[in-house]
Amino acid sequence: MVSFLGAALSFPTVLFSFLLLVVVGYWLLVLTGVLDLGDDLDVDGVPGGILAGLGLGGLPSAIGFSLLVAVAWFVSLAGSALLDGLGFGAAARIAVSVGVLLVAALAAWLVTRLAAVPLGRLFQAGTESSRHAFVGSLCTIRTGRVTADFGQAEVAAADGSAATVQVRQTGAEPLHAGSPALIYDYDVEGEFFWVTPGDFALDPDHSRHAPR
């Protein structure tokens, strides 16, 4: 445990350890419903536009940034552990550590770049026209609450696949994770759906909307 902490807090791994803590904290807040997956993970002014410039535009910025940090941290940690076993001198250790940092950054970009296309499809709700096709459908709420500016749900597409979409409601009805809701409108500017409490029993094919 002590050796692990030493490697995690040594250069260059320590650079990614802080970012990894931010990423873990972000996903904990998403899982508990405090944050929405649609809320960007913006660390030290790193917006999704920079990720797009790196060829990672197919992913939501939170997904892309999280994957970059996780892979870079793991590679740098493995490199640091290897350096500890080789017994380099101080000057040589610094030079080799810089090399590990560059390798970790490159590996993180390559892995995330390869994952961008398949993962992007999982989080893409489709074009504007296909999004309008969801209007009138039942969905399953996936966040702890739904308000006028927060919420997320899962809805079945025409091909049977599931899409995760942003949802909002004008009222104060208790919509929570697992609740059925009816999509009745789409906000083009905000790119989210307006929902109201629904009932799966009213849908002849309600089994496809059931929470998994």
What are the pLDDT digits (tens) for 56-74?
656 677 888 889 999 999 9
- Of the pLDDT bands very low, low, confident and very high (cuts 50, 70, 90), residue 210 is very low
Mean pLDDT of the chain: 78
Structure token pair of residue 170: 């004008």
The more confidently predicted of residues 12 and 38 is: 12
Contact assessment for residue 36 and residue 141, using Cβ atoms and an 8 Å cutoff: no
What spatial distance separates the first Cα and last Cα of the chain, rounded to whole Å? 37
Residue with tokens 């802080």: 18
Residue 24 has pLDDT above 50, yes or no: yes
Q: Rounded to whole angstroms, how far apart are CA atoms 127 and 105?
A: 33
Measured CA to CA, the distance from residue 29 to residue 63 in angstroms comes to 14
% the chain with pLDDT above 90: 25
pLDDT for res 182: 94
Strand 192-197 relative to strand 162-168, pairing: parallel
Which tokens hold the place of 117?
């296309």
User: 84 exposed, middle or buried (CB, 10 Å; 0-12, 13-18, 19+)?
Assistant: middle
Q: Is residue 84 pLDDT above 80, yes or no?
A: no
- Mean pLDDT over residues 85-103, rounded? 80
- Phi then psi for 148, rounded to 5 degrees? -75, -15
Q: What is the pLDDT of residues 128-187, one digit of tens each?
A: 546 778 899 999 999 888 998 888 899 987 767 778 888 999 888 889 889 999 999 998
- Cβ atoms within 10 Å of 103's Cβ, excluding its own: 16
Q: What is the pLDDT of residue 204?
A: 46
- pLDDT range class, residue 198, cuts 50, 70, 90: confident
pLDDT of residue 93: 76
Please, which pLDDT band fits residue 110 given cuts at 50, 70 and 90? very high
Q: Kindly tell me the burial class for residue 104, based on how many C-beta atoms sit within 10 Å of its own C-beta (0-12, 13-18, 19 or more).
A: buried
Question: What integer pLDDT is reported at residue 189 of this predicted model?
Answer: 78
pLDDT band per the 50, 70, 90 thresholds, residue 44: very low
- Torsion on CA atoms 166, 184, 159, 123, rounded to nearest 10: -10
Best CA proximity match to 72, nearest among 37, 27, 106, 36: 106
